[in-house]
Amino acid sequence: MSNPEIGQMVNVKGVQTNLHDQGSGFPVVLIHGSGPGVTAWANWRLVLPELAKSRRVIAPDMLGFGYTDRPADQQYNLDRWVTHVIDLLDTLGIDQADLVGNSFGGALTLALAIRHPQRFRRLVLMGSVGVPFDMTPGLEAAWGYEPSLAAMRRLLDIFAYDRTLVSDELAQMRYEASIRPGFQESFAAMFPAPRQRWVDAMASPESEIRALPHETLIIHGREDQVIPLQTSLVLSQWIDKAQLHVFGHCGHWTQIEHTQRFTKLVSDFLAEADV
C-alpha cells in the first residue's frame, strides 16, 4: 500500500526533500508545524486539493521532519530551515511565491519574509510562533513528547477543541508516525529542555516584523492551548498590512477543525493579488 505522506523526492542542494506539488498557477508554499511525527501531508492533506484548484501548491517536509533528510549533526535552527526553503524555491525554479505557515511554520514564514522580502508576495500566519511569549503547558507537552499511544492521545486532545476529531485511529496513526526510524531522534534534538529558549530563538525582532511590507492574513483559534491567541494579536499590531481572523470553538488545528472556512479565507486572500 502506498503511503500518501510521501509525495515526490527532490534533491535540494544535497538534501533529499519530500514534498507535495499539486495544481498550477501562482505558487504557494505551505510550511507545517512542529508536532511529533508531523509531515506536510498530516498538516495540509485537507487543504492541499482545495487550494490546488486555483494555484500551484507546494508542501514540503522541512529539514529534519517527516521523510526529508535529517542532517548528520542533528543541529537545527531558524537559519538552516530558512536556507532549506530558499534552496527549495531555487531548485524548483520559483522566483516568487505566497507563504502559509502553521505554528512553527509561522515563525519560519516571518523569518523568510524578513530576510528575503522579494521572494514572497503574500503571507498567511496560522497559530503562529515568531514573537515572544511564555512557554505554554500545551507547547511543553508537544515539544517534550515521549512516544506512547497514551501520550499521543493526550497531545491530540490539547491540539483540538472538538474532541470528536481525536479518534483512536488518528491517535494510532500519529503515534506510529512518531516512532518511525529516525523521527523521534531528530524531534528530540530540535527542542530539548529548557524549552523557553526555543520559543525565544524562533522569534524575529519587533523592528523587523514592523518593517514587513507584505499583505498578511493572521489566523488563530480562540481556544488554542498550544500557542496563545495573544501572539496573533501582537502580530496584527506589528504588521502594517495585517488582517486578523479568530475562529471560535477552535484549538490549534484551524486548517483541520474549520477546513472549509480556512480554505475559503486563504483562497480569497491570495486571489486578491492574482488580479
Pairing of strands 56-60, 97-102: unpaired
Rounded distance between C-alpha atoms, residue 100 and residue 79, angstroms: 18
Contact between 126 and 106 (Cβ < 8 Å) = yes
Strand partners, 15: 12
Query: What length is written for the chain?
Result: 275
Catalytic residue among 103, 128, 186, 232: 103
Rounded distance between C-alpha atoms, residue 37 and residue 143, angstroms: 11
Task: Extract the C-alpha cell encoding 37.
Answer: 511525527
Task: Extract the C-alpha cell encoding 186.
Answer: 531528530
In the sheet where 15-22 sits, what is the strand order? 8-12, 15-22, 56-60, 27-31, 97-102, 120-126, 215-221, 242-247
Q: Reply yes or no on whether 103 is catalytic.
A: yes
Catalytic residue among 61, 69, 98, 224: 224
Q: Reply yes or no on whether 54 is catalytic.
A: no
Q: Reply yes or no on whether 162 is catalytic.
A: no
Catalytic residue among 84, 214, 220, 252: 252
Segment (H or E) for 12: strand 8-12
Of residues 146, 145, 113, 140, the one with CA closest to residue 197:
140
Residue 221: φ, ψ to 5°:
-90, 130
Task: Extract the C-alpha cell encoding 204.
Answer: 524575529
Residue the block writes with cell 512557554: 135
Rounded distance between C-alpha atoms, residue 38 and residue 67, angstroms: 10
Positions annotated as catalytic residues are 103, 224, 252
